[in-house]
């Protein structure tokens, strides 16, 4: 059986007084490990292209319970969370 490989980018869309915006974009992010040069910041750099061969998304090493996290640097009322895979 082949391992499941998932490539993701993240948008956290929050409500402001005038419109929706991406609260996670360009905020500090980390991940449990890094495969090649597919760093954590590529998961929330605003580029939703999920083509791993063009280095447009983050990726961890093949490991047990990998994780990725973003610090929104504040408190927000979350309206939507979008994961692009």
Is residue 13 helix, strand or coil?
strand
pLDDT in tens, 15-51: 555 577 888 999 999 999 999 999 999 999 988 887 8
Domain ranges of the chain: 9-67
pTM above 0.85, yes or no: no
Residue at token pair 């063009």: 54
* pLDDT of 69 over the 60 cut: yes
* pLDDT of 57 over the 70 cut: yes
What string of H, E and C letters represents the secondary structure of 8-31? Answer: EEEEEEEECCCCEEECCCCCCEEE
Question: Rounded mean pLDDT of the chain?
Answer: 82
CA distance linking residue 56 with residue 44, whole number of Å: 10
Residue 65: the pLDDT is 95
- Please give the average per-residue pLDDT across 43-64, as a whole number: 88
């Amino acid at each position: 059986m082949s391992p499941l490989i998932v490539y993701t980018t993240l948008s956290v869309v929050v409500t402001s007084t005038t419109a929706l915006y991406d609260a996670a974009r360009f905020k500090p992010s980390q991940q449990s490990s890094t495969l090649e040069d597919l760093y954590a910041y590529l998961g929330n750099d605003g580029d939703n292209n999920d083509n791993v061969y063009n280095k447009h998304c983050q990726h961890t090493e093949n490991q047990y319970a990998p994780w990725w996290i973003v610090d929104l640097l504040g408190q927000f009322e979350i309206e939507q969370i979008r994961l692009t895979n």
